[in-house]
Every structure is written in C-alpha cells, then in structure tokens.
Amino acid sequence: MASYIKINGVELPYPKRGVTPTVTTVVDAGRNLNGVVVGQRIGRDQYKLDALEWPALTAEEWSRILQLVSGFYFDCTFPDPVTNAWITKRMYCGDRTAEPYWLKKDAQGNVTGKPDLYINCKVNLIDTGR
C-alpha cells in the first residue's frame, strides 16, 4: 500500500502531518448508590481520523475526495494505531472545508470564477461502529 488512507479502495493523496487517529472505547456507565462507577463496554473500539488535512489540492483532487465521501457510508482503510496493521472500517464524513485559492482562466485568459486550486482542505472521518 502506497498511501496513508484509502476510501472505497481509492488511494488519497498523502495528508499533511498532524492527522489525529483517535481510538474510543464506548461504555454504558453510571454510578451506584455508593458513588462507584458501574459500567460495561459496548461493542468494539471505534476510530476517528481527526484533522485530516491537505495543504493544497487541485480542484479535481478535492472534488474526487468529496465525491468519495458523498455516499455517507464508505469503507476507509488506514493504519490501526493499536496493532500497526492496515484496517478497514465503515465510516462517514463530518465537516469538509477548504479555501478556494486560484481561479481558472479560459483560453482567452479571462477568469472563469471557478476554483483551480484549494488550500487548507480538511475532513474528519468517523467510524460507524459496524
């Protein structure tokens, strides 16, 4: 595997340094009459890839990433920080943000108004628990 992350088998460009893989243990918990925490683990550990960012992407690259996560649920393959092995989890995408940086020009050199390059492209990927 040559990329840090794949969505539905499609390799994404290498993200900026600073991705935060988070492992969450979901617990059903409360306190008993003595104030002691009583709880149990629910399901398996779940993952979140937070602060997934690319400093600059062409409009085509950013569009491709947005299209890959547009079906709400998708398969995401990434290195598991627990085992250091590749894992694939069913995930969905949180907020997606980017700043248009350069605008396209037509053959005559006139600005079309459509972005040609985006900067600070960010997404968060969240495990569905499936």
How far apart are alpha carbons 55 and 118 in whole angstroms?
8
Query: How far are the Cα atoms of 49, 52, 93, 105 from residue 43, in angstroms, in the given order?
Result: 19, 25, 21, 52
Considering only CA atoms, which of 86, 12, 85 is closest in space to residue 52?
12
Amino acid identity of residue 113, one-letter, is G
Considering only CA atoms, which of 15, 40, 18, 13 is closest in space to residue 28?
40
> At 2, is the pLDDT very low, low, confident or very high (cuts 50, 70, 90)?
low
Query: How far are the Cα atoms of 48, 52, 107 from residue 124, in angstroms, in the given order?
Result: 7, 6, 37
Tell me if the pTM is above 0.75.
yes
Digit-coded pLDDT (tens) for 58-101 = 999 999 999 999 989 999 999 999 999 999 999 999 999 999 99
Handedness of CA 101, 103, 104, 108 (dihedral sign): negative
How far apart are alpha carbons 12 and 74 in whole angstroms?
14
> At 1, is the pLDDT very low, low, confident or very high (cuts 50, 70, 90)?
very low
> Within 1-122, where are the H helices?
59-68
